[in-house]
Amino acid sequence: MQASVDRIRRDIDRINQYTGPGLGINRLSFTPEHQGAVDYVRKQLEAIDYEMRVTAHGNYRFRRKGDDWSQPAVTSGSHLDAVPEGGRFDGVAGVVAAVEVARLLAESGDKPSVPYEIIVFSEEEGSRFGGVLTGSKAMIGSLTKKDLVQMQDQTGISYIEAIENIGVNTSDWDKAVIHPGDINAYFELHIEQSLVLETKGIPVGIVTDITGIRIYRITYQGVPNHAGATPMPLREDSLAAAAEAIQAIESLAQGASGGTMVGTVGIIENEPNVSNVIPGRTHFSLDLRDIDRECLVNMSETIISQVKDIATRRGINCTIKMTADAPPVSLSNRARQALLDATKELGIKALEMPSGAGHDAQEMARVTDVGMIFVPSIGGRSHCPEEESRFTDIAHGTSVLYSAIRKLCL
Ligand code: GLV
Ligand code: MN
Ligand code: MN
């Protein structure tokens, strides 16, 4: 059976009606926009006899009514939260594909002996509470309830408060954690977010490895002073120090051997941020990634030591906090093979490739077999309003997903 392009297009368009003001898509976790999108998915699945369980961690799980929730399921999903001014496909494509698989299974008339489950993870992007892959990390127990009391949004609301405010009962936190053996397999379809598939003219990617990510929040504390009256040698300028650090990060990441290291400073907050005052305090982020764990750890240590050296040389203070650490993973042979077999059966050309973006799949890979499908991103743009993929490509990827999942469920 083939996935329906029309249903996929409709689902993606409807979900993206749930967006806040601003360019592109604005849908932070647990906001009314996010709740609207989750509710749309719930209604689609209820129409084919699925029920929703909201987990104590604020994720959403769906199985057919009457299925045994204690039996390990073959699962698929992704996320509905988006980066600010984000695109229409990141996360949404994977959720919609997982829903379409449920429809195809229902239409096939097959009687699966292993249940199929859809999972919608929350706060994958970390755009509201500052981590990354937060819902999936909570689900597998690598972030505790205490951790999530400490993770707060810009208004001081913690992750726990945010989910309790929308009615989530967090008392079963530990019982909701998933352990090895609790899930049969996890599959995620995602847009590629780069140019490889489009450049090679290949409609489907099968992911081999997912990048490791370390995120830091760095603060330089200098001395605010008069921009006119303070001579250059007497300044303790936190922003000038940050500028030096940002350049060092770029050249260290560029010079890394292996060619898969990337380093980004995406946030800069400067105080008092006034033209005639020497900056006194500057916060900036560091997002460092590599598919090689050892290279990632070594490079993060090198960068952090340079960041400290810059502060020492300039006579200012420096504080550094690691806010996320997701190790790289190689995906399971079993799940990868199921996807490769499906592409062969369907006559769809596929390319095995690594993922430079982070995905909930890499957290799930710590507790179960994980497979990931990429579909081409037009122009390789992502995390921006210009993010674009063809609905026909998403449908091809979904047909591959369905074929692999059906085999494991029967
Ligand atoms: C998630 O999209 C990430 O790769 O940061
Ligand atoms: Mn994503
Ligand atoms: Mn993303």
* Whether the Cβ atoms of residue 4 and residue 395 lie closer than 8 Å to each other: yes
Cβ-contact 93, 78 below 8 angstroms = yes
Q: Are residues 92 and 69 in the same domain?
A: yes
CATH at 251: 3.30.70.360
Same-domain pairing of 292 and 344: no
CB of 125 closer than 6 A to ligand 1?
yes
Q: Looking only at Cα atoms, what is the longest distance across the chain?
A: 80
Residue recorded with tokens 């299925």: 67
Residue 82 beta carbon below 6 angstroms from any ligand 1 atom: no
228 pLDDT more than 90: yes
Report the separation in Å between the CA atom of 153 and the middle of ligand 3, taken as the mean of its atom positions. 18
Ligand 1 atom with the smallest distance to the CA of 83 is 2
- 351 phi and psi angles, rounded to 5 deg: -120, 130
Positive or negative, the Cα torsion across 237, 239, 242, 248? negative
Residue 259 pLDDT more than 90? Answer: no
Q: Is the shortest distance between the CB of 360 and ligand 1 below 6 Å?
A: no
317 and 334 assigned to the same domain:
no
Q: At a CB cut-off of 8 Å and minimum separation 6, what does 31 contact?
A: 20, 128
User: Would you say the CB of residue 358 lies under 6 angstroms from ligand 1?
Assistant: yes
For 330, phi then psi, to 5°, come to -95, 135
Are 187 and 289 members of one domain? no
Whether 188 and 225 map to the same domain: the answer is: no
* Shared-domain flag, residues 205 and 313: no
- Neighbouring CB atoms inside 10 A of 195's CB total 14
End-to-end Cα spacing for the chain = 15
Average pLDDT over residues 76-102: 98
pLDDT score at 349: 96
Q: Domain limits at 261?
A: 212-326
Q: Identify whether 279 is preceded by a cis peptide bond (ω within 30 of 0).
A: no
Task: Please name the residue that has the structure tokens 């496909």.
Answer: 89
User: From CA 77, how far away is CA 210, in angstroms rounded?
Assistant: 16
**Are 244 and 97 within one domain?**
no
d(C-alpha 326, C-alpha 142), whole Å: 10
pLDDT tens-digit map of 94-106: 999 999 999 999 9
What mean pLDDT is reported for the chain? 97
Tens digit of each residue's pLDDT (9 = 90 or more) over 13-40? 999 999 999 999 999 999 999 999 999 9
State pLDDT tens for residues 336-351. 999 999 999 999 999 9
- CA-wise closest residue to 261 among 229, 235, 301, 296: 296
Q: Is the pLDDT of residue 258 over 90?
A: no
Rounded to 10 degrees, the C-alpha dihedral 73/397/96/28 comes to: 100
CATH number (domain holding residue 69): 3.40.630.10
Q: Which residue matches tokens 């205490």?
A: 146
Closest by CA position to 124, among listed 34, 33, 19? 34
Instruction: Tell me the three state secondary structure of residue 359.
Output: coil
Same-domain status, 160 and 239: no
Task: Classify 220 as helix, strand or coil.
Answer: strand
Give the model's confidence band at 153: pLDDT under 50 very low, under 70 low, under 90 confident, else very high.
Answer: very high
Give the CB-side neighbour count of residue 327, counting CA atoms within 13 A. 9
CA dist 128 and 160 (Å) reads: 12
CB distance 187 to 116 below 8 Å:
no
**Which residue owns the Cα nearest ligand 1 atom 5?**
358
Picking from 263, 295, 326, the residue at the C-terminal end of a domain is: 326
Tally of domains within the chain: 2
Of 226, 230, 265, the C-alpha closest to 245 is 265
Residues 218 and 71 grouped into a single domain: no
pLDDT tier for residue 257 given thresholds of 50, 70 and 90? confident
Q: Are residues 272 and 256 in the same domain?
A: yes
For the cut 90, the answer to whether the pLDDT of residue 321 exceeds it is: yes
Which of 303, 326, 349 terminates a domain? The answer is 326
Last residue of a domain, one of 326, 360, 380: 326
Arithmetic mean of pLDDT, 122-135: 96
Cβ proximity of 279 and 222 under 8 Å: yes
Note whether 142 and 87 are same-domain residues: yes
Residues forming a β-bridge with 84? none
Counting ligands in written order, the one closest to the CA of 266 is: 1
- Do 174 and 98 share a structural domain? yes
Report the nearest-CA residue for atom 3 of ligand 1: 358
